[in-house]
Amino acid sequence: MPLFASLYNFAHWLTQNREEAEDLVQETYLKALKGFASFQQGTNFRAWMYRILRNTFLTSRTGLSVKMTEPLDLEENPAALPVTPDTPESVLLARADQQAVQDALERLPVHFREVILLCDMEEMSYQEIAETIGIPIGTVMSRLSRARKSMRELLETQVRGASQARGAPQK
Amino acid sequence: MTCPWSAKLDRYLDSELPDDELTEMEAHLRSCPSCAPEALSRLQLKRVTQAVGHRFSPSPEFRMKIEQSMSAPKPRPWMVRWAPAFAAAAALALMLISVGVWLQHSRSEQALDELADLHVATLASANPVDVVSTDRHTVKPWFQGKLPFSFNLPELQGSPFQLLGGRLTYFQQNPGAQLLFEVGKHRISAFIFQNRAELSRLNSGSSLSRKLAFSSETWTEGGLRYFIIGDASPSDIRGLSEFLRSAARS
Ligand SMILES: [Zn+2]
């Protein structure tokens, strides 16, 4: 079954729920089979499948509620890439463990979570991500940049909080 | 004070910098006290994210359920007749495409690949043929006026082959006829085009058709180029080819 485990994993990250993830994957395969005649050779098959899965999710009940509660991207302008200041956060992040990263990913808004997962976990190129999400490459870059910034901020808060809770020295 | 290069760090770590910028970036990283640790930290975060990301796996029960539903789709009205071919072809096509077998073929393999795709797409389509008939006397006239050439169809009575119908098709911007045949549980497409120099270079039995588990035959007869392709056995493909060849000569 092509991409089965990866699609399931991604679906679970989107829905955060096993049952919903299974429904989502099943529907994705059905739609892929039905729409296969419309698949254009030369286009990216993986991006095509992920796109079906993602669109199916966004029109599901959970997906719709997520969309409603998430602010749409306001400043998705490649010219206005946020610049990350040099802070000691890099030192803190070096200590971020898997549990902290997992928590941060779960807490990220779904638009940020998916773009990070597609890039870092699926190792998709920006072009593939653009095809999957249906946005220009410039938007992929700015969204990715903001998503990672959010993620680092979440981690920083967590790591600082944990250090303080343990009464560990900051430096 | 933020280093102006830090804006490129993500693209660098995502392997998205063009070669010239990549070289510059690598040189910069060796000397910048702010970017070097930042790059390291981001790279580490990427790695942890990747490790954490792969944490959900489908249950064996679910895998089985999907595999079964893929191999035996519930019949819908239009699928009753096409269900076996549809499921097999679509599952096969999904599998093949996912491994990207088309990536690096020679030109002739690409052409055969394209025909194989046409065949698969036809089987996966809701309306595989435009003219549905087992009667060659219905199918052949249907193409008249739609194509810049005509062709003969064989009498298949008493043979294991059955004509299912035909449709117009395009291959490398040229119109042609696609005829769909059935032998046992397998579907075979016969493509007929006006012969051109590009087409005459194509050979059957390329590595592609072997990867596809498809058999193919191709020949030129009376200024027309024939391609026979399908998942039937090579001897069935040859058998059908013989019928078409002799019809062309009659
Ligand atoms: Zn620097």
pLDDT score, position B211: 44
Does any domain span residue A77? Answer: no
Residue A112's domain is classified under what CATH number? 1.10.10.10
pLDDT score, position A9: 96
Mean pLDDT of A134-139: 93
Q: Which residue in chain B has the smallest CA separation from A99?
A: B52
CA-atom Rg of chain A in angstroms:
18
pLDDT score, position A139: 94
Find, among B246, B17, B29, the residue nearest to B154 by Cα.
B246
Does any domain span residue A171? Answer: no
Handedness of CA B114, B75, A63, A6 (dihedral sign): negative
- Given an 8 Å threshold on Cβ–Cβ distance, is A151 in contact with B69? no
A87 and A143 belong to one structural domain: yes
Q: Which of A139-148, B67-76, B154-163 is least confident?
A: B67-76
Question: What is the complex's ipTM, to 2 decimals?
Answer: 0.82
pLDDT score, position A33: 78
Asked whether the predicted pLDDT for residue B202 surpasses 70, the reply is no
**What is the spatial distance between Cα A36 and Cα A41, in angstroms, rounded to a whole number?**
10
What SS3 state is found at A78? Answer: helix
Q: How far is B29 from chain A (nearest CA, A)?
A: 15
More confident residue, A42 or A113: A113
Q: How far is A73 from chain B (nearest CA, A)?
A: 20
Mean pLDDT of B54-72: 84
The proportion of chain B whose per-residue pLDDT surpasses 90, expressed as a percent, equals 23
Q: How far is A64 from chain B (nearest CA, A)?
A: 23
Which residue, A17, A49, A70, sits at the end of a domain? Answer: A70
A63 and A92 belong to one structural domain: no
CB-based contact, A25 to chain B, within 8 Å? yes
Q: How close is the Cα of A123 to the center of ligand 1, in Å?
A: 25
Q: How close is the Cα of B33 to the center of ligand 1, in Å?
A: 7
Asked whether the predicted pLDDT for residue B161 surpasses 70, the reply is yes
A95 and A59 belong to one structural domain: no
Confidence of residue A32 (pLDDT cuts 50, 70, 90): confident
- For A141-161, the pLDDT digits (tens) are 999 999 999 999 998 887 777
CB-based contact, A60 to chain B, within 8 Å? no
**What is the spatial distance between Cα B236 and Cα A161, in angstroms, rounded to a whole number?**
72
What SS3 state is found at B65? Answer: helix
Q: Which residue in chain B has the smallest CA separation from A27?
A: B66
A61 and A92 belong to one structural domain: no
What SS3 state is found at B155? Answer: coil
More confident residue, A95 or B45: B45
**What is the spatial distance between Cα B128 and Cα B188, in angstroms, rounded to a whole number?**
12
CB-based contact, A125 to chain B, within 8 Å? yes
Asked whether the predicted pLDDT for residue B240 surpasses 70, the reply is yes
Average confidence score pLDDT of chain A = 79
Q: Which of A96-110, B174-188, B193-207 is least confident?
A: B193-207
Mean pLDDT of B211-235: 79
Residues of A with CB below 8 A from B94's CB? 2, 32-33, 36
Give the type of residue at B51.
A
- Given an 8 Å threshold on Cβ–Cβ distance, is A4 in contact with B58? yes
Does any domain span residue A75? Answer: no
Which residue, A70, A100, A120, sits at the end of a domain? Answer: A70
Pick from B67, B97, B102 the residue to mutate for testing the A interface (most A CBs within 10 Å).
Answer: B97
Which residue, A70, A97, A114, sits at the end of a domain? Answer: A70
Is the distance from CB of A53 to CB of A25 less than 8 angstroms? yes
Pick from B56, B112, B115, B170 the residue to mutate for testing the A interface (most A CBs within 10 Å).
Answer: B56
Mean pLDDT of B68-86: 53
Q: How far is A21 from chain B (nearest CA, A)?
A: 9
Is the distance from CB of B217 to CB of B238 less than 8 angstroms? yes
- CA angle (A161, A162, A167) in 5-degree steps: 95
pLDDT score, position B79: 44
A63 and A122 belong to one structural domain: no
pLDDT score, position B69: 76
- Given an 8 Å threshold on Cβ–Cβ distance, is A141 in contact with B6? no
Residues of B with CB below 8 A from A97's CB? 48
Mean pLDDT of B213-230: 82
Residues of B with CB below 8 A from A81's CB? 7
Does any domain span residue A114? Answer: yes
More confident residue, B13 or A167: B13
A66 and A92 belong to one structural domain: no
Q: Which of A37, A86, A151 sits opposite B121 (nearest CB)?
A: A37
Residues 6 or more apart in contact with residue B234 via CB below 8 angstroms: B215
Whole-prediction pTM: 0.55
Q: How close is the Cα of A167 to the center of ligand 1, in Å?
A: 34
Residues of B with CB below 8 A from A116's CB? 49
Is the distance from CB of B68 to CB of B61 less than 8 angstroms? no
A40 and A113 belong to one structural domain: no
Is the distance from CB of A94 to CB of B44 less than 8 angstroms? yes
The proportion of chain A whose per-residue pLDDT surpasses 70, expressed as a percent, equals 71
Mean pLDDT of B65-93: 58
Confidence of residue B74 (pLDDT cuts 50, 70, 90): very low
Mean pLDDT of B195-202: 67
**What is the spatial distance between Cα B93 and Cα B95, in angstroms, rounded to a whole number?**
5
pLDDT score, position B91: 61
Q: How far is B239 from chain A (nearest CA, A)?
A: 29
For every residue of B93-107, DSSP letters joined together read HHHHHHTTTTTT--H
Task: Report residue A153 as tokens.
Answer: 């901020």
Domain membership of residue A16 as a residue range: 1-70
A54 and A103 belong to one structural domain: no
Is the distance from CB of A115 to CB of A90 less than 8 angstroms? no
Asked whether the predicted pLDDT for residue B222 surpasses 90, the reply is no
- For A87-115, the pLDDT digits (tens) are 455 545 555 588 889 999 999 999 999 99
Task: Report residue B133 as tokens.
Answer: 């008939």
Does any domain span residue A78? Answer: no
Residues 6 or more apart in contact with residue B172 via CB below 8 angstroms: B111, B114, B198
pLDDT score, position A64: 76
Confidence of residue B218 (pLDDT cuts 50, 70, 90): confident
The number of distinct structural domains making up chain A is 2
- Extended beta strands in chain B, E state: 131-132, 161-171, 174-183, 186-194, 215-221, 224-230
For every residue of B10-25, DSSP letters joined together read HHHHTT-S-HHHHHHH
Q: Which of B1, B54, B59 sits opposite A9 (nearest CB)?
A: B54
A60 and A117 belong to one structural domain: no
Asked whether the predicted pLDDT for residue A28 surpasses 70, the reply is yes
Q: Which of A13, A90, A98 sits opposite B56 (nearest CB)?
A: A13
pLDDT score, position A148: 94
Mean pLDDT of B13-36: 91
Mean pLDDT of B208-230: 74
More confident residue, B106 or A139: A139
Asked whether the predicted pLDDT for residue A52 surpasses 70, the reply is yes
Size of the A and B interface in Cβ pairs below 8 Å: 140
Q: How close is the Cα of B23 to the center of ligand 1, in Å?
A: 14
A95 and A62 belong to one structural domain: no
**What is the spatial distance between Cα B50 and Cα B52, in angstroms, rounded to a whole number?**
6
Mean pLDDT of B52-66: 91
pLDDT score, position B231: 80
- Given an 8 Å threshold on Cβ–Cβ distance, is B44 in contact with A101? no
Is the distance from CB of B80 to CB of B86 less than 8 angstroms? no
Confidence of residue B84 (pLDDT cuts 50, 70, 90): low
Does any domain span residue A76? Answer: no
For every residue of A146-163, DSSP letters joined together read HHHHHHHHHHHHHHHHHH
Mean pLDDT of B27-38: 89
